[in-house]
Amino acid sequence: MKRGAWGSRAGFIFAVTGSAVGLANIWRLPYIVGENGGAAFLIIYLLCLMFIGFPVLMSEIIIGRSTQTSPSGAFLKLSCSKYWSWIGKMTIMTGFIVSAFYSAVAGWIFGYLIEAFRGNLSNFQNAADAELHFNNLMHSPLWGLGFHCCFLLICFFILILGVRGGIERGNKIMMPCLILVLVFLVIKGLTLPNAILGIKYLLEPDFSEITPKAFMVALGQSFFTLSLGQGTMITYGSYLSQKDNLIKSCLPVVAMDTIVSLLAAFAVFAIVFSGGMKPDSGPGLIFNTLPLVFSQMTGGYFLAIMFFLLVLLAAITSEISAMEPVIAYLIDEKKWTRKKACLFTAGGVFLLGIPSAWSMSVFEGFTIFGYSFIDFMSFLASSILIPLGGFFAVILVGWVWGVNNTLNHLKLGASKFFQKNPWASSYFWFCFKYSAPILIIIVFLNAIGIFNL
Ligand code: PHE
């Protein structure tokens, strides 16, 4: 059976950008910027992208492209050791876990889009009203389960159509829509009264806010937003041909991901400040604060629809990429058909996502190590498994396969770039071998409490 492959470089860029741009850009970034002091945080975040995020992304794409197989086989091929194939399997498991809780959250977003259509998000009188509405929905098991299921069904139907016919085509349709909606929201946001206060908050750094904790959050964000450490980029890279120029294919992705994050932050902050609110309500920022502002402005009904549509599109293109490593594994290693692999993966993700979807209803009060089910899954994936997956990917290319092999592979199809930019080899050499692995380890040990920054 022929393996899936991208139809064109643009197709790859759309798909990888679709994976990268997700809830982390539109939902998480604005609230962590709000909690960690605005512009100063953005500076650390950009540094993390440059010295850790981008090199890890390149490592994963290289691992995939050079081996043309799913993460488990890819780690085995490059290292020639079966222990490494277990690490590959761990990254696939991580993708499975991420898909499950991500789908539960995306289900809430889907539910909120329907609420927006029904006009229920644009007539709140005060903050308590908005919160009550949110709690009522969250306490309904049927609501959480139903939308988790509907959201997964959409992803399943895209995935089953294959790499080119489903993932690539879907992204080529959804990503331009997403950009249009985002640009509309930014323009609308910036023309609201007092929007300038939000922009000021984002652009005036307060350096006293640069703390070790901000650094940790920024690193976690750069990993999650680029879909690293969990097989996605290895799998997407494995559908690339050896001729492609990896620099030209990957730089636009990081640039687009960052631009979308910044635009989303501008839109959200402009809207929030124009309503006289503060962006410090954490995850509730888009579920409670924004709908309250929508209720107070003209055209709020329409804006609420646009906003939740934007987040839903971003979530679909990311969810399919989180599920694809599992599917690729079942096809490449177990020789399953794509249909069977998609059915099995979607079924498994649905089941594992149920306790997350019900974390505030049926599973309310149920905790693991003090975390609610969904927070535990998210902690396990984002603070432990994802950094580990990213760490092993750079160790594999920088130390095991060897940095020279890696650079030679990187130069395939990009030799002109390296001739014109002699510093690029040193930059990648330094990142693969030192900056990325060392910084990840420091942050990881800190996150699990082994040492405190
Ligand atoms: N990058 C996605 C986001 O920003 C999340 C994601 C992680 C998607 C891992 C796929 C795999 O929301």
- Provide the token pair at 214: 């901000």
Mutate to test the pocket of ligand 1, among 19, 49, 316 (most ligand atoms within 8 A of CB): 19
Output the pLDDT for position 321.
98
Give burial (CB, 10 Å; 0-12/13-18/19+) of 351.
exposed
CA–CA distance, 57 with 432 (Å, rounded to integer):
11
**Ranges of H-type helices in 297-371:** 300-332, 338-357
Q: What are phi and psi of 145, to 5 degrees?
A: -70, -45
Residue 444 binned pLDDT confidence (cut-offs 50, 70, 90):
confident
Name every protein residue with a CB atom under 6 angstroms from any ligand 1 atom: 19-20, 22-25, 98, 224-225, 227, 230, 232, 318, 321-322
- For 256-283, how does the pLDDT look when each residue is reduced to its tens digit (9 = 90+)? 999 999 999 999 999 989 888 877 777 7
Q: What pLDDT, on a 0 to 100 scale, did the predictor assign at position 304? A: 94
Model confidence at 346: pLDDT above 90: yes
Distance in angstroms between the alpha carbons of the first and the last residue of the chain? 51
Residue 451, sorted as left (phi over 0), alpha (psi -120 to 50) or beta, turns out to be: beta
What is the Å distance from ligand 1's center to 223 Cα? 9
Query: Which residue CA neighbors atom 6 of ligand 1 most closely?
Result: 227
Using the predicted structure, report yes or no on whether residue 453 has a pLDDT greater than 60. no
Residue nearest to atom 3 of ligand 1 (CA): 22
DSSP-assigned letter for residue 4: P
Which residues lie across from 372 on neighbouring strands?
Answer: 367
pTM of the model: 0.94
Residue type present at position 194: N
pLDDT score of 162: 96
Position 118 scores a pLDDT of 96
Contact 71, 396 (CB under 8 A): no
What is the best residue among 224, 234, 258, 261 to mutate for testing ligand 1's pocket, by most ligand atoms within 8 Å of CB? Answer: 224
Predicted confidence at residue 38, as pLDDT, reads 82
Q: What is the 3-state secondary structure (H, E, C) of 373-405?
A: HHHHHHHHHHHHHHHHHHHHHHHHHHHHCCHHH
Judging by beta carbons within 10 Å of its beta carbon (0-12, 13-18, 19+), is residue 187 exposed, middle or buried?
exposed
Q: Given this model, what pLDDT does residue 452 score?
A: 61
Q: What is the pLDDT of residue 451?
A: 62
Nearest CA to ligand 1 atom 8: 318
How far is it, in rounded angstroms, from Cα 262 to Cα 237? 26
State whether residue 372 is helix, strand or coil.
Answer: strand
Dihedral of the CA atoms 143, 148, 150, 152 (nearest 10)? Answer: 180
Q: What pLDDT score was predicted for residue 433?
A: 96
Of the two residues 88 and 279, the one the predictor is more confident about is 88
Q: Which of 221, 225, 262, 318 to mutate to test the pocket of ligand 1 (most atoms within 8 A of CB)?
A: 318
C-alpha 322 – ligand 1 centre gap (Å):
7
**Per-residue confidence (pLDDT) for residue 1, from 0 to 100:** 64
What would the two tokens of residue 168 be? 């690539």
Give the mean pLDDT of 434-441.
Answer: 93
Task: Give me ligand 1 centre to Cα 184, in Å.
Answer: 23
Specify the pLDDT at position 383: 85
* 137-159 pLDDT per residue, tens: 999 999 999 999 999 999 999 99
Q: For ligand 1, atom 12, which residue shows the shortest CA distance?
A: 22
